[in-house]
Amino acid sequence: MVSPCLPAMVACAILALLSPSALAAESPARKPAGPLAGLPSAPGPHLQKITALGEGEWLNLGKPAPDPKWGQGRGRSWSHKMAYAPEYRGAFLCGAGPHAFIKPDGHYDDIFFYNLNAHAWIAIFPGVDTRTFGEDCKAGRLKVNDDGQLCDQDGHVVPLAARSHSGQTHTYDPDSHRWIYNGCATGGIDPDWWSAKAAWYTSGLEFIKGKPDKVAHQPLYFDTISGRFARPVGTKPARGGGARGEVTFYLPTRKAIWAYSSDQGQQIGDPATGQWKVTKKPKGAPGGGDYGACYDSKRHRIYLSTGGKPTANEGHVYIYDVATDSWSNPPNKGDALELPSTNVGVLNYDMVADRVVIFCGKEHVAAWNPESGEWTPKIAMPAAFPGVSYPSYHGFYSPDVNAHLVYVASDGGDNGTVWVYRHKRER
């Protein structure tokens, strides 16, 4: 007979094997009541395999367990970033992927969370049901509140805002335990550009018009404690707004949101008030778009790719320094590599190795030293990677297990698997 205490004892044993940083993440004062209720879940046996990884080794965890009701977090092109929430041991996946993509069950613009401890998907938002959208608006099951936001019949905000690809446009605020999606359409009831004239959307539009939009250009927030969505209202955002940043990160040293795009410039927002400071053309910032990027938690810097094919005298890495509010583009050293854009790979800052680690599609892994500016030689990806056609790459680095997790699936497909890579073991 198995003792009822054995599962708990096994979970504790696995936790003891994890890196010290796994025990340092601050849990919220109140337990979450929404989709993330009960997290972090008990560590599964796959975490022992992750812990055992040597330097430069890979592990294929296979297909995550589906959400019991809403299935798999599907692949989505040009959406490589998964925003990591350390206190919940997992990361957010968003973006429609294929333009105006509607899943086989009729839902559009879903948001999922990968539960690392359980190797499983959790549906944060299943998406708007395009099959019933018009009728739901007509019957009052969907309506527009006084702030101009789409909401359900109980007044809870319903997201309808993706710009198809999420790129680098979402981040996580561990101080307020909120996920921030900055890749939204400009207002509270606007869908992505490709769905704006779709029959499913226009069928409900006449029933949800007529109220001023007080949330224009503001990011969408998901409060992990209440399990509800919201946008800040009651303040006037800066011209151009926050919700147009190609790259978005939460700045823990400033308790602020940072966003950048070559057309809107640099924007720093107060998540409490919704006020934004805009520097239209910051000196030394990159042009182009579709940036690969990551946040250096040691130096409090953000590293960006060139946003296109580098010019002859352009360094491959742009640096934004939070403390000095300044940009730089150091010259390349040696056999410098390009940072991958959002549809060809993943890049993360590795806290243990103190390196920016890049995963360039099915080609190679390499690492950049922020101190010296030098690159390691390319290392080939596993022969079986990615294992799907027309792959979309998504990923994050978990300091809690000192590993990089790369989720790869066909664009719009539910055939994805999670691969794990360790660059350097904790000493």
* Residue 229 backbone dihedrals phi, psi, to 5 degrees: -100, 155
Per-residue pLDDT band for 2 (boundaries 50, 70, 90) equals very low
Per-residue pLDDT, 165: 87
What confidence tens digit (pLDDT) does each residue in 238-256 have? 444 455 568 999 999 999 9
Kindly list the domain boundaries of the chain, sorted by start residue.
Answer: 6-422
Sole residue written with tokens 């990011």: 219
Maximum separation of any 2 CA atoms in the chain, in Å: 70
Report which of 265, 246, 264, 266 is spatially closest to residue 256, judged by C-alpha positions. Answer: 266
| Residue 66, CA distances (Å) to 32, 115, 130, 164, 416 in order | 21, 11, 22, 22, 11
Report which of 359, 400, 265 is spatially closest to residue 58, judged by C-alpha positions. Answer: 359
Answer yes or no: is pLDDT of 264 > 80. Answer: yes
What mean pLDDT comes out for the span 389-417?
A: 97
User: How distant is the alpha carbon of residue 4 from its chain centre?
Assistant: 37
Amino acid at position 373, single letter: G
Per-residue pLDDT, 13: 41
Residue 341, Cβ neighbours under 10 Å: how many? 23
Per-residue pLDDT, 422: 98
What confidence tens digit (pLDDT) does each residue in 32-55 have? 889 999 999 999 999 999 999 999
d(Cα 15, Cα 400) in Å, to the nearest integer? 10
DSSP 221-274: EEETTTTEEE---SS-PPTT-STT-SEEEEETTTTEEEEEETTTEEEEE-TTT-
Amino acid at position 9, single letter: M
What confidence tens digit (pLDDT) does each residue in 328-338 have? 999 999 999 99
Report which of 348, 331, 278 is spatially closest to residue 83, judged by C-alpha positions. Answer: 348
Per-residue pLDDT, 184: 67
d(Cα 133, Cα 64) in Å, to the nearest integer? 30
Mean pLDDT of the chain: 89
What mean pLDDT comes out for the span 325-351?
A: 96
The CATH architecture of the domain made up of 6-422 is: 6 Propeller (2.120)
Asked whether the beta carbons of 316 and 305 are under 8 A apart, the reply is yes
d(Cα 407, Cα 414) in Å, to the nearest integer? 11
d(Cα 379, Cα 399) in Å, to the nearest integer? 22
As a whole number of Å, the CA-based R_g of the chain is 21
